Amino acid sequence: MLQRINLAHGEGGELTYRLIKDVFEKAFGHGEHTKHDSAIFQCKPETIALTTDSYVVKPIFFPGGNIGKLAVAGTVNDLAVSGAVPKFMTAGFIIEEGLPLKDLKEIVHSMADEAGKAGIRIIAGDTKVVEKGSADQLFINTSGIGTVESGHKLQPKHIQKGDSIILSGTIGDHGIAILSAREELGLLSDTVSDCASLNGLIQSLIHTIDGIRILKDPTRGGLATALVELCEDFHFNCEINEGSIPIRNDIHGACDILGYDPLYLANEGKMILLVDSKMEEQALQVLRSHPLGENAAVIGQVTGTTNSAGKLYLKTPLGTTRSLQRLAGLMLPRIC
């Protein structure tokens, strides 16, 4: 087999066939499904969660993962934070010609690994090869299907004043890991991306804690943007304490060097949890007994519900508050 992907791999002929057989089927193990143009499967109960996402991360390999692991974990997390049990997913690969075959194999294998860990099956896929320069090495598009068990639904309607806001761990790890891996700004960091599937942790929360109002994974745009979106969509005001937000020292350091605000850095293995304050301690216990939630912390409270879009406030160590907005445009390093 050739060492690099070329345009013929996407022409539907012999090379495409070999690529599917040798790379994708081998990793995802679904020979039966590939005989049809669609995957046909049964799915119970009737409440279904469906999500789609595209992954264009640069570089495609980074400390703590690669674009494939990210695509599976990202899809799983989108389903899981909606309260669904992830079941099936699809993966469409847009490959820039010239991508080393061994890179593709490694990526596909880590997808299979991550899917195995998360208990989701990759049951349909597609491959397209585009000319050099038409894509940046590899893009992956996914769809995910999950089922929502009755009795374990999230209750955003019950959000009320005093509800606790819990964060499952440190912020900014993914953002800084990617930045450092890009080597563009000279930042040297041992930071590893937090990229991980959260569905196991979320299921144990949903099954043991009553009063979970809502879950959200603060991916691009970071913690602040995710919370602003929750406040606006679910009509509540909240206040988070600057000093309570878990953040690693090296992330602080990297942000100081480049002039970034960690509140806006991307995360790929963290979640925000709004929960009845009476259940706060129990929720923390469940989170902290899981490796993906060991640094969980209460970062703030809901301060009231509103009739329209709510606001996010940050309490400074001086005791003053200021409102936070969603990320405005690109994050750029600054000297001023």
Partner 1 sequence: MDSMAPFSDPVLSQRSAEAVIQLAKQYIQLNGRKPVFMEVCGSHTMALAKTGVKTRLNEYVQLIAGPGCPVCVTDQRTIDSMISLSKERGSILCTFGDMMRVPGSKHSLLEAKTEGKDIRVVYSPLDSLRIAEKNPDKEIIFLGIGFETTIPLLAAAIKEAEQRGLTNFSIWMTTKLVEPVLRALLDAGEIQLDGFLLPGHVSVVLGKESYSFLTEEYKMPGVISGFEPVQLLSSIYKLLQLCLENTAEIINDYPYAVSSSGNAAAKSLMKKYLQPGDEDWRGIGTIPNSGLVLKEKYQNFDAKRKFKITIDSPRKTKCRCGEVIRGLTAPEECPLFSKACTPANPIGPCMVSAEGTCAAHYHYMKEE
Partner 2 sequence: MCVGVPSKVIRLEENRALVDVMGSKIYVGILFVPEVKINDYVLLHAGQAMTIINEEYARESIEEWRNIIDGQHGTLF
Strand 61-62 versus strand 65-66 pairing type: antiparallel
Q: Which of residues 167-206 bind partner 2 (CB under 8 A)?
A: 176, 180, 186-191
Please list the residues that pair with 139 across neighbouring strands.
Answer: 94
Closest CA to 65 of 205, 266, 257: 266
- Which of the choices partner 2, partner 1, none does residue 202 contact, using the CB cut-off of 5 to 8 A by kind? none
Q: Does residue number 53 form part of the binding site for partner 2 (CB under 8 A)?
A: no
Structure tokens at 116: 């195995």
Closer residue to partner 2 (CB): 114 or 173: 173
The entry of partner 1, partner 2, none near residue 104 (CB within 5 to 8 angstroms by kind) is none
Check binding of 117 to partner 2 (CB under 8 A).
no
Residue 148 gets the label, from left (phi > 0), alpha (psi -120 to 50) or beta, of beta
CB 63 within 8 A of CB 177: yes
Q: Which does 320 bind (CB under 5 to 8 A by kind): partner 2, partner 1, none?
A: partner 1
The residue to which tokens 């899917």 are assigned: 115
- DSSP three-state, residue 310: coil
Q: Is 315 in the site for partner 2 (CB under 8 A)?
A: no
Q: Could you tell me the smallest distance in angstroms from the CB atom of residue 169 to partner 2?
A: 17
176 binds, among partner 2, partner 1, none (CB under 5 to 8 A by kind): partner 2
Stretch of residues binding partner 2 (CB under 8 A), selected from 163-171, 207-215, 243-251, 275-283: 243-251
Q: Does 250 bind partner 2 (CB under 8 A)?
A: yes
Nearer to partner 2, 328 or 336 (CB): 336
**Residue at 256: amino acid letter:** D
**Binding region for partner 1 (CB under 8 A):** 185-187, 243, 258-259, 311, 316-325, 328-330, 332-336
User: Which sign does the torsion angle of CA 258, 262, 265, 270 carry?
Assistant: positive
User: Strands 121-130 and 85-96: what pairing?
Assistant: parallel
In the complex with partner 2, the residue whose CB is nearer, 183 or 210, is 183
How far is Cα 56 from Cα 266, in angstroms, rounded to an integer?
A: 14
Which partner, partner 1, partner 2, none, binds residue 328 by CB below 5 to 8 Å per kind?
partner 1
CB of 176 to partner 1, least distance (A): 14
Comparing CA positions, the residue from 23, 13, 8, 76 lying closest to residue 268 is 76
The rounded distance, in Å, linking the Cα atoms of 106 and 129 is 18
Q: Which of the choices partner 1, partner 2, none does residue 133 contact, using the CB cut-off of 5 to 8 A by kind?
A: none
Q: Would you tell me which residues interact with partner 2 (CB under 8 A)?
A: 176, 180, 186-191, 248-254, 256-257, 259, 334-336
